[in-house]
Structure 1
Amino acid sequence: MVATFHSLVDGDRDLQGWPCRMHVCGQSEARRFQADLAATHVLSVVTPGRSYLGPRDVAPDHHLKVEFDDVEDAGRAGAPSLELVRSIGEWTATLPDDARLCLHGLQGVRRAPAVALGILAARVPPADAVAALARFCRHAPDPNLLVVRLFDEALGLGGALLAACQTRFAGCGSALRRRDQSEGQDFNFDMLALDGERARGG
């Protein structure tokens, strides 16, 4: 795995404080390549009711775990909340200038990119945050719109972040998107990763 920590100072920006130096990926990648990544901080998006299989032995004050499901209806069980996204913003605001953040969800496609977008939007205008998102992500992002909407509200952006996201990522329809929530059961991507490891003799 060749992992790169991108940051907002990679372009023509000169930001004060932490420049959003981060890498967005899936849980199994964050775990298997923990040593190679050498992140100083980890932000884990954990699925309710599932075992945590991400990076281990991270100092508690360098590791934030947030738990919510990949749903876009705020009334659904396990949905993210405004309080939760605010807690993410508060935690990332304390990161030192030289921090390297590994941000992962289960797949690194939906929830983690949406959180990354919120982190970026706290530092740069919404359109710029949306335009920059993909280069931070190992996989093509398909951001969870409820998470984006909550960050939009938390940051007081008046719908600009959500609108920019919908324009940029409209119809992305990632192949890794969860099956219809009405089925009440999700595909187990952890098992897929483990099967891949076994096939390679891992």
Structure 2
Amino acid sequence: MVSIPASARPTTRRFRRLLVVGLSVVIAAITAALGYRLLKSSSPPSSSSLSSSSAAPSLNALPGEHSGALGEADGVVPDGVTVFDDEIPAVAKLDPDLLKALRRAAANAADDGAKFYVNSGWRSPDYQNQLLREAVSEYGSEDEAARWVATAATSPHVSGDAVDLGRSDATAWLSKHGAEYGLCQIYRNEPWHYELHTDAIGRGCPRMYANPTQDPRMQQ
């Protein structure tokens, strides 16, 4: 065993004292850091952290929300809708007299195996404008688009005075019997488009226009 000289003992004791103090400071710092972390993890998140967090829901991506999209409330028609589907706005918002005539005709047409499916009926102005924009894009000009789609201000669909029927059996049946109910094809290029002309019951349907551009109503 090596003995420590007496002159070195004070220095040794001072070193030990400093070592103890240093360890105490380190332990205190570690304890404070752990305590802060525990406190932070148990605290509720602030509003700023929620807004920047990727886990926070976005108001622009709520389930079922489609900002700006058109749906049934605008007159979009799901597959399989008939003239008897009152819960569909495109049907329910048709002119009452037109709808009554359609249902009377449909009830009799059913005996001949024809069913009146609706491709389009009443439309909102927004829906009509969208259809017009799509037609301009498809046909290349407003003049060409006008042969198929009217403006929201002139369309009889927006006023609820027109219906577009699906499937050829219904339109074929109406081409023979439609006048008996006042239901007339209006445009030669649209065999699916029917409107109510009550005078047709006694005298037959009026002469058809080649397309909507020849219809005086479209010139407003």
TM-score by length of 2: 0.26
Q: Which has the larger radius of gyration?
A: 2
Flag the structure with higher helix content: 2
Of structures 1 and 2, the one scoring higher in RCO (CA 8 A, sep 6+) is: 1
